[in-house]
């Protein structure tokens, strides 16, 4: 009887392990989210035994979830900070960085705005509250500044590359996602925001920065001044079903989906 119970227990343990290996949780950046959604849809179609849940709560939240052991893969639109890496190690989490795509953060205005290009210095003046009227840039009306919230990797990249570590001024309207930025700018003729290149559509107008257009080539070469890599983070090298998903994303089919999502593939 004891032998039978032992066999049953072993079988249950094997079944439990197998189930765990086919369940993946992905959380983090809303910039990487459209890429991951396309990749997950294609991967689950090819691997119906694998169950994957994807949510986009921002890069900071995704990294926190990885550190807390609440997600298998964290999506991030900025690199982990040293303090996050140090905290992870105190919890026996070894962050493994994987570059999955390339992006350009593009300032966007309402299509009714006549502005076609802007400088990084002007963007900084807008986002510190120094410029408050479009008249200063050849337009008309008050400027409505739209920004991502502080948990966003896009916000942190913008702060580093455009703001030069100065904070966005308190009068900016903070949004929880890139989609919310697009919606806010599309509905307000005086608004300016910034989004990843994959979020550009006809509802807003992307601006050249320092005379350089946000093209795939310019983003990849980093000639465009607000270019960046997009990341996945795992606890150590990915394994099991998570490795299968990551390998798929980095492979030819996955990188094709990166391009379909509007972002820049690695190859």
Q: What is the CATH number of the domain that holds 38?
A: 3.40.190.10
Residue 266 lies in a domain: no
Residue 265 lies in a domain: no
Give the model's pLDDT for residue 172. 97
Give the model's pLDDT for residue 165. 84
Give the model's pLDDT for residue 4. 44
Long-range contacts at 77-86 (CB < 8 A, ≥ 24 apart):
77/29, 77/31, 77/32, 77/103, 77/152, 77/153, 77/154, 77/157, 77/196, 77/228, 77/230, 77/231, 78/153, 78/154, 78/156, 78/157, 78/228, 78/231, 79/229, 79/231, 80/233
**What is the rounded distance in angstroms from the CA atom of residue 193 to the CA atom of residue 173?**
9
Same-domain status, 162 and 75: no
Number of domains in the chain: 2
Same-domain status, 128 and 117: yes
pLDDT profile of the chain (267 residues), mean per 10: 45 42 89 97 96 94 97 97 97 98 98 96 98 95 96 94 94 95 98 96 98 97 97 97 97 98 95
The domain containing residue 174 runs over which residues?
Answer: 103-220
Give the model's pLDDT for residue 22. 80
**Closest of 191, 194, 192 to residue 31, by C-alpha:** 194
Token pair listed for 136 = 């200063």
**What is the rounded distance in angstroms from the CA atom of residue 225 to the CA atom of residue 148?**
19
Same-domain status, 43 and 125: no
Same-domain status, 107 and 92: no
Give the model's pLDDT for residue 217. 96
Handedness of CA 177, 170, 79, 236 (dihedral sign): negative
Strands (E) in the chain, as ranges, are 23-28, 51-55, 73-76, 95-109, 117-118, 144-148, 173-175, 191-196, 205-206, 208-209, 227-235
Same-domain status, 41 and 133: no
Give the model's pLDDT for residue 143. 98
Give the model's pLDDT for residue 225. 97
């Amino acid at each position: 009887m004891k032998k039978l119970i032992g066999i049953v227990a072993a079988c249950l343990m094997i079944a439990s392990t197998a189930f765990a290996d086919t369940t993946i949780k992905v959380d983090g950046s809303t910039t990487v989210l459209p890429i991951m959604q396309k990749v997950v849809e294609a991967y689950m179609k090819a691997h119906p035994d694998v169950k994957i849940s994807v949510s986009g709560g921002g890069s900071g939240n995704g990294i926190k979830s990885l550190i807390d052991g609440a997600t298998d893969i964290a999506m991030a639109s900025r690199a982990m900070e040293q303090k996050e890496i140090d905290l992870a190690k105190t919890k026996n989490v070894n962050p493994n960085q994987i570059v999955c795509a390339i992006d350009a953060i593009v300032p966007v205005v309402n299509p009714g705005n006549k502005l076609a290009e802007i400088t990084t210095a002007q963007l900084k003046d807008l986002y510190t509250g120094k410029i408050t009227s479009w008249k200063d840039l050849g337009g008309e009306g008050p400027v409505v500044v739209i920004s991502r919230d502080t948990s966003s990797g896009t916000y942190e990249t913008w702060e580093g590359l455009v703001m030069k570590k100065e904070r966005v001024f308190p009068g900016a309207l903070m949004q929880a996602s890139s989609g919310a930025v697009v919606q806010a700018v599309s509905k307000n003729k005086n608004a300016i925001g910034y989004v990843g290149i994959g979020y550009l559509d006809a509802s807003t107008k992307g601006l050249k920065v320092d005379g350089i257009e946000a093209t795939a080539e310019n983003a990849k070469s980093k000639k465009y001044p607000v270019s960046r890599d997009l990341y996945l983070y795992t606890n150590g090298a990915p394994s099991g079903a998570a490795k299968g998903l990551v390998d798929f994303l980095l492979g030819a089919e996955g990188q094709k989906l990166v391009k379909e999502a509007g972002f820049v593939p690695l190859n």
